[in-house]
Structure 1
């Protein structure tokens, strides 16, 4: 293999006649800018605000190879492996900017297994999704389209009545779950295993699932030795769950995440909830969760979203809780769900874990 002798720092050099880049990137510079915007503490725990490339070399080399092919190379930098790429026979190092001094490249041929030893599947999937989605106009999700078609029916309804109507009309349009396509068994196959592993790694013994919806995918999740409380604002959902799913260590209760006192649990699971709330109701719900004294919040976020938009309750849009107006800190961990809805336009959909004590109060958001 021939590697160019000159240092290709950051985004590399391309020449006339080179084949076009894929995944919507027109140049190495375009790809580098997307990477810069996508790197975060969720793609590497070593990320720093003033040095975003820090710790991103392995995950970046993996994503770049998947997008553009070529080889993964490595070199020793201060006793640790630094990973980068060889594309079209030339060295391309998108994360060289994390180092103050020039790198003495050894250009040792590496592989994906070695690079994955320095990152995780969730970090890889998240970076890949964010890079791919940047600059791409996302198609409206099914829940968003169907709410727009019937918006007039929600005029004058309070929050409880809105979600009751959504349930009664199966507004979100899933074939096997009234909780929407994101709650179908096929959509949660990856998540179910990772969620069980996460709960056990945290030593969680009690979980509050709010909103629990129809419990369809959670019924297939391994919750052995975990006491589970499912709660929802729609009484009919709770009645159905009590008849079908209740047992000694599993109970269901009607609860409004915004208005009702929330009992203390090791972990509050709040999946696919805030995406349906206005900013004002999200802030009220978060403050209510904080008052519960619970330890962890595991909730839906879309890290690829750069600007959040407000909606009326019951509508839908992707939401990034680290962006304004919420400004959550870096999560303790992130589970990318592998969402395939709308042709992969929401592939950054994730459950992110925060210590509830770390969440900013409303006046700071």
Structure 2
């Protein structure tokens, strides 16, 4: 893509777009919440649907001229139902956080109680952090992972639910590397008469492919992102039983949003269609295998992994034991200098801050999309360790950067 039309009217934006394309081609994207969509999804998201207002839902719009918008949204809904086995699907949320807002607004009132995973233990801002809308609107209490194992303690969660008596329990994560027992959390919710919302933003694709147990049909509500382990472009999704369908749809529109971004919905439709191809199951399996190999490689270099490994697409390394003088922020900055892009991340028992945490989080969805398998992931793990072991050594940085460029050249992104 040359961006010639953009360049003809705005060279500055064209330069930025070209630069971003080159950056993605020439770096290893390992932020666990990122992936690379196909050129078909890119084309759909850049379509003329960006011009169209379509407030409402298929067949019930507040504007005329929505026949093709209806077609696209109905395709996205039907494909999502097939992928995840949901009775009802809303594909209009602009993001995973918007999807969570839609669920909260559907059954909660301001001041109601939420019990959710603490941010430093792997939760998400929209699960009720004090700076987020959820933390401002609702009375939020957090549960944590077991400090010894780094894993969720479901019995402790159930006991805490009995003490707190929440109106909703939120499950799911942004930095928890293990399989979630949705049934155990549902039992805790049922015992106190609470709703259960399972946020599968990070593992949407893994659930669709059967690489992680599904909360659909277990939890009252399931939310997700459409751009992490599934490659359908940036956006959100809500799934629920028919009994909650009207409440959810009303909460999304007109409750939380106006007109849907129909060009993004088109991307979702195309991406969901791609995920229905049998090859997607192979992709998702490779994502998990690659994360396992990456984690094992880092452990061989002396890194301590939260929970001792991973079952998903991400690894979370606690640097305090292996590299006590290196912060997650310093590691992130050094790795980006050589072309490896991941993020510093808080870890259970965090002793620093979210702005300069003690861990690093690395994901494998984007590299797997580029065709990386076990051998490449071992090399990537070796390169990450080499940089962090030699922080500030420009000679090492230059050598690693050359190796990163070779990996990128061998696995081109958009040719």
TM-score of the two chains, using structure 2 as the length reference: 0.30
Highest relative contact order (Cα 8 Å, sep 6+), 1 or 2? 2
- Relative to the length of structure 1, the TM-score reads 0.33
Task: Flag the structure with higher helix content.
Answer: 2
| Greater Cα radius of gyration, structure 1 or 2 | 1
